[in-house]
């Protein structure tokens, strides 16, 4: 029972991370396209500035839960996906540095350098997260000892690349929605145009990804045996359609929340298809890491659950307070004394 509870918490933490840090990654990816001048760029940095480091807490939590609740899965994952996860780590480090270093020198060349770093450090992690999860859905060539029999290029299969492109597109759309909320005037109009462009593109990419999922993975087996799970993709589609309708009605905050629901349900859709697996083996199904053979002891899971029930509400309350505190749009006069 505790293994299943932690499996649900595990995918919930990843979903929350995608929702919250997703818009930061999307804004950074949009920087060279929507930031037409220095003022626009500073506003875009300021739209993500108060939130990005707090949002990454959920990535640390997801990784920590993997390590503590499913240590075997953690060991195999960080061995098989060592190269892309290391690149992801360096990308997130450089993103943090770019926020802090950009305005340390009064030079357009210096700022331009860190703008490029910021763009790449948001683009690459967005793609790698999608590639990693697509390969988890498809299965990794691991043996009974958890040894990975593959290469970095093997991860970049058509299905893996499609997952990476889909994640990137979803995050860009999420970031554009956040800019519609947090910016004004011409930048807001460009962000709105980006949403209108990305929405049908994400829909097309999603259809392609689902078709490849059907042909390249066994995720739908759980859905066929338990039809109630089809509520997840239905809710995801409802959230996605609601994004467009709510934005057209001028309700930007609700549109962003609806897109968050789409990301939540889409994450649950993919990870639920793995259950009870965590890391599937494409060489031998018996070598797969599951919640049964890859979890910690019941005592460990019970203690962790108690800690989680105490600490997670505190983190959520703090982040709700922070989002309310910085909920107002970022105006040009606001960045005159800003560090961004």
pLDDT tops 70 at residue 336: no
> Rounded distance, CA 97 to CA 102, Å?
8
Lowest mean pLDDT across 68-82, 124-138, 163-177, 252-266: 68-82
Residue 264 lies in a domain: no
Range of the domain at 284: 2-220+274-335
Both structure tokens of 52: 């990005």
User: For residue 144, what pLDDT is reported?
Assistant: 87
Tell whether the model's pLDDT for residue 1 goes beyond 90. Answer: no
278: left (phi over 0), alpha (psi -120 to 50) or beta: alpha
* Arithmetic mean of pLDDT, 232-250: 96
pLDDT higher than threshold 70 for residue 298: yes
Check residue 106 and give its pLDDT. 87
Do the domain assignments include residue 129? yes
pTM: 0.95
Residue 81 lies in a domain: yes
Secondary structure of the chain as H, E, C letters? CHHHHHHHHHHHHHHHHHHHHHHHHHHHHHHHHHCCCHHHHHHHHHHHCCCHHHHCHHHHHHHHHHHHHCHHHHHHHHHHCHHHHHHHHHHHHHHHHHHHHCCCCCCHHHHHHHHHHHHHHHHHHHHHHHHHHHHHHHCECECCCCCECCCHHHHCCHHHHHHHHHHHHHHHHHHHHHHHHHCCHHHHHHHHHHHHHHHHHHHHHHHHHHHHHHHHCCCHHHHHHCHHHHHHHHHHHHHHHHHHHHHHCCCHHHHHHHHHHHHHHHHHHHHHCCCCEEECECCCHHHCEECCCCCCCHHHHHHHHHHHHHHHHHHHHHHHHHHHHCCCCCCHHHHCCCCC
SS3 96: helix
Q: Is the confidence at residue 168, as pLDDT, over 90?
A: yes
The chain-wide mean pLDDT, for the chain, equals: 93
pLDDT per residue as tens digits for the range 90-144: 999 999 999 999 988 889 999 999 999 999 999 999 999 999 999 999 999 999 8
Tally the domains of the chain: 1
Closest to 84 (Cα-Cα) out of 142, 117, 129: 129
* pLDDT at 71 > cutoff 90: yes
Q: How many other C-beta atoms are found inside a 10 Å radius of the C-beta of residue 325?
A: 9
**What pLDDT band is residue 84 in, cutting at 50, 70 and 90?**
confident
pLDDT at 206: 97
pLDDT of residue 339: 62
**Residue 227, in any domain of the structure:** no
Q: Which two tokens stand for residue 122?
A: 């948001």
Per-residue pLDDT at 138? 94
296/289 Cα distance (integer angstroms) = 13
Residue 337 has pLDDT above 70, yes or no: no
Give yes or no for residue 340 having a pLDDT over 70.
Answer: no
265 lies in some domain: no
- pLDDT for 338 equals 62
Query: Is the pLDDT score of 309 beyond 80?
Result: yes
Residue 37 in any domain: the answer is yes
Q: Is the pLDDT of residue 87 over 80?
A: yes
């Amino acid at each position: 029972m505790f293994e299943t509870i932690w499996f649900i918490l595990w995918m919930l933490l990843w979903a929350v991370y995608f929702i919250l840090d997703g818009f930061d990654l999307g804004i950074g990816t949009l920087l060279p396209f929507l930031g037409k001048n220095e003022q626009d760029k500073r506003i875009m940095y300021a739209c993500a500035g108060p939130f990005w480091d707090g949002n990454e807490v959920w990535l640390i939590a997801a990784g920590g839960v993997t390590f503590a609740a499913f240590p075997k899965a953690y060991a195999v994952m960080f061995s098989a996906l060592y190269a892309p996860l290391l690149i992801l780590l360096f990308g997130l480090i450089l993103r943090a540095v770019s926020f802090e270093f950009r305005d340390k020198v009064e030079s357009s060349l210096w700022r331009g350098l860190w703008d490029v770093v910021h763009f790449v450090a948001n683009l690459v992690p967005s793609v790698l997260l999608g590639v990693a999860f697509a390969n988890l859905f498809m299965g990794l060539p691991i043996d009974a000892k958890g040894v990975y029999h593959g290469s970095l290029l093997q991860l970049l299969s058509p299905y893996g690349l499609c997952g990476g492109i889909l994640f990137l597109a979803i995050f860009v759309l999420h970031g554009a929605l956040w800019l519609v909320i947090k910016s004004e005037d011409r930048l807001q109009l460009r962000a709105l145009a980006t949403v209108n462009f990305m929405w049908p593109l994400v829909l097309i990419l999603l259809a392609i990804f689902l078709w490849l999922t059907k042909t390249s993975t066994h995720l739908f087996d759980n859905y066929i045996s338990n039809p109630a799970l089809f509520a997840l993709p239905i809710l995801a589609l409802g959230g996605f359609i609601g994004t467009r309708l709510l934005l057209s009605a001028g309700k930007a905050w609700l549109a962003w929340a609806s897109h968050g629901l789409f990301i939540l349900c889409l994450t649950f859709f993919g990870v639920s298809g793995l259950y009870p697996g965590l890391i599937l083996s494409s060489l031998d199904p018996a070598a797969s890491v599951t919640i049964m053979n890859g979890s910690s002891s019941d005592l460990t899971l019970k203690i962790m659950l108690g800690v989680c029930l105490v600490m997670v509400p505190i983190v959520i309350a703090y982040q709700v307070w922070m989002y309310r505190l910085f909920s107002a749009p970022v105006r040009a006069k606001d960045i005159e004394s800003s560090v961004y």
